[in-house]
């Protein structure tokens, strides 16, 4: 086989497997680790595996995240000649993870018997995705299992081993397929894992109750999608028009909801400063007896000219003069803040209120029986953040976002898939309110309802359940997270020992 073939397969499988607006084939994502395995096992040396794995991983990342050029080129003020290289550079950086994967897998093939190699490849992939979530601020956008989120029956394993663990399990099957001709246990493993995924998916998605979880109440939440043009969002001339639109849409469903959910920075001004529009929101909440949860920038003034800005979610309750809020804790580098700004001759790549700093309180916002675990924008792609919200007592997860930045690209669809995994992992309903879509209600099994179209005005009353209790994944989060890392490290140590032993034998 020509070395370019698995590289091409990797790129095509990522482009088709991860959600996109043209042709989405979720099962195609399984060919991605299959192709990387082919690269690792066919390369004559670890160095060649590293090089080809980097090329394949970079092209696959670019096929998935080409859309990064859109917000930079359209809203960032950079010419397209500079915007287009941005996703290329990010893809090349992410390609390094897949290069390391193929490099280690090439070495592992020389140290492990076939079946052990299958298990190790899954552990290695799980560790790689975990690293993607933490290193360099974290950007776990290409979680393999998230590509299957459109098929809830395929992702139920995430309630037990998490999205990263499920990715690793799928990768072990891909490796086992490559080893089937030389390993009978690999064949059994492939059949067993596929059978477990199918049976588990069938059992969980057809049952009325969620195991280990208890329904404590019901709620109806109004998902208000303002569909505000991002190019006008921060223009002061449109501030009143934006505000009036959200009030008008909210009135359509206020009579049958317990809460109005407006998107991230739905109000492009400082609510805490008071004024007529804040007074009108409070009047609306009191008149309809419906709390409003909205995104808006916030600040803390330290002294004259010295202040801190926050990406904030405000809870405006009826008959209350004060507001509760949550400050976004995991910010987007180059979008919401500039890393190493004292060294880099750049400003933020996209427009907004200013440079934000992270919040530190993950406690739920409470309204009646609702204890809402807040996840603003891409916070929803991080498993540890949803885990923390549930530990703090949330009985429902709320994700507010503004995906208008990305246009009609793959990004809003991929974002929905990623936050779907959080609902399954934590066993909670996830209510998602966005500016331009996709707004939706996701149940603890990953089933999506009340989904809106992209770039339309929408006011939807979404019914959800309030839930207590923990999934197996939540209850054993630390062990599930740490075990693959430890096992991968032990495997790497064995590879090093085995390699030195073989070198010593050759010298003798």
Please tell me what DSSP assigns to residue 2: -
The CA–CA distances, whole Å, from 100 to 94, 257, 416 equal 10, 50, 28
Q: Which residues contact 400 (CB under 8 A, 6 or more apart)?
A: 261, 262, 263, 264, 266, 293, 295, 313, 374, 375, 376, 377, 432, 433, 434
Question: Of these residues, 64, 86, 179, 377, which one is catalytic?
Answer: 377
Annotation marks residue 187 as catalytic:
no
Query: What residues does 312 pair with on adjacent strands?
Result: 296, 327
- Look at residues 180, 187, 195, 197 and name the one whose alpha carbon lies nearest to residue 37: 180
In degrees, rounded to 5, the angle at the alpha carbon of residue 33 between the alpha carbons of residues 106 and 83 is 105
Question: Of these residues, 328, 379, 425, 465, which one is catalytic?
Answer: 328
Bridge-based pairing of strands 306-316 and 292-303 is: antiparallel
Annotation marks residue 86 as catalytic:
no
C-beta of residue 277 within 8 angstroms of C-beta of residue 269: yes
The CA–CA distances, whole Å, from 92 to 18, 59, 283, 406, 410 equal 18, 8, 51, 20, 19
Question: Of these residues, 129, 153, 264, 465, which one is catalytic?
Answer: 264
Query: What residues does 373 pair with on adjacent strands?
Result: 397
Backbone angles phi, psi at 23, to 5 degrees: -140, 105
Annotation marks residue 233 as catalytic:
no
With tokens 């991983």, the residue in question is 57
Catalytic positions are 264, 328, 377
């Amino acid at each position: 086989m020509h070395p370019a073939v698995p590289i091409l397969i990797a790129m095509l499988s990522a482009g088709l497997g991860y959600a996109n607006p043209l042709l989405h084939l979720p099962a195609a994502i399984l060919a991605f680790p299959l192709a990387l395995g082919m690269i690792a096992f066919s390369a004559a040396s670890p160095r060649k595996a590293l090089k080809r794995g980097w090329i394949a991983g970079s092209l696959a990342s670019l096929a998935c995240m080409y859309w990064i050029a859109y917000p930079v080129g359209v809203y960032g003020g950079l010419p397209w000649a500079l915007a287009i290289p941005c996703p290329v550079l990010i893809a090349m950086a992410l390609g390094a993870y897949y290069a390391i994967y193929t490099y280690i897998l090439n070495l592992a093939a020389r140290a492990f018997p076939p079946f052990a190699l299958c298990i190790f490849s899954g552990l290695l992939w799980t560790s790689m995705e975990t690293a993607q979530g933490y290193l360099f601020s974290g950007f776990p956008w290409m979680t393999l299992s998230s590509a299957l989120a459109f098929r809830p029956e395929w992702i139920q394993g995430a309630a037990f081993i998490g999205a990263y663990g499920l990715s690793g399990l799928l990768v072990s099957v891909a490796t086992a397929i490559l080893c089937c001709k030389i390993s009978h246990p690999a064949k059994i493993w492939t059949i067993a894992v596929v059978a477990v995924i199918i049976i588990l998916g069938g059992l969980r998605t057809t049952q009325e109750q969620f195991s280990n979880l208890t329904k404590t109440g019901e709620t109806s939440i109004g998902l208000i999608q303002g569909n505000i043009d991002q190019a006008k969002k921060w223009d002061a001339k449109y501030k009143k028009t934006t505000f009036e639109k959200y009030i008008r849409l909210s009135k359509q469903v206020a009579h049958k909801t317990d809460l109005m959910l407006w998107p991230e920075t739905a109000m492009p001004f400082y609510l805490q400063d008071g004024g007529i529009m804040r007074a009108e929101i409070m009047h609306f909440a009191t008149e309809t007896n419906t709390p409003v949860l909205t995104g808006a920038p916030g600040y803390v003034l330290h002294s004259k000219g010295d202040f801190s800005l926050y990406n904030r979610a405000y809870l405006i309750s009826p008959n209350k003069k004060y507001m509760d809020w949550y400050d976004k804790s995991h910010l987007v580098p180059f979008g919401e803040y500039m890393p190493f700004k004292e060294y880099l001759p750049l400003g933020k790549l996209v427009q907004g209120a200013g440079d934000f700093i992270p919040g530190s309180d993950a406690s739920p916002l409470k309204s009646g029986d609702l204890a809402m675990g807040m996840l603003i924008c891409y916070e929803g792609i991080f498993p540890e953040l949803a885990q923390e919200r549930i530990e703090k007592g949330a009985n429902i997860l709320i994700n507010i976002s503004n995906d208008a930045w990305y246009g009609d690209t793959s990004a809003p669809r991929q974002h929905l898939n990623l936050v779907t995994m959080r609902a399954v992992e934590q066993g909670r309903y996830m209510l998602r309110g966005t500016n331009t879509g996709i707004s939706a209600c996701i149940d603890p099994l990953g089933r999506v309802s009340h989904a809106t179209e992209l770039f339309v005005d929408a006011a939807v009353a979404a019914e959800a359940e309030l839930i207590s209790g923990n999934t197996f994944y939540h209850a054993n989060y630390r062990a599930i997270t740490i075990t693959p890392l430890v096992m991968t490290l032990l495997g790497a140590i064995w590879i090093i020992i085995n390699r030195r032993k073989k070198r010593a034998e050759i010298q003798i």
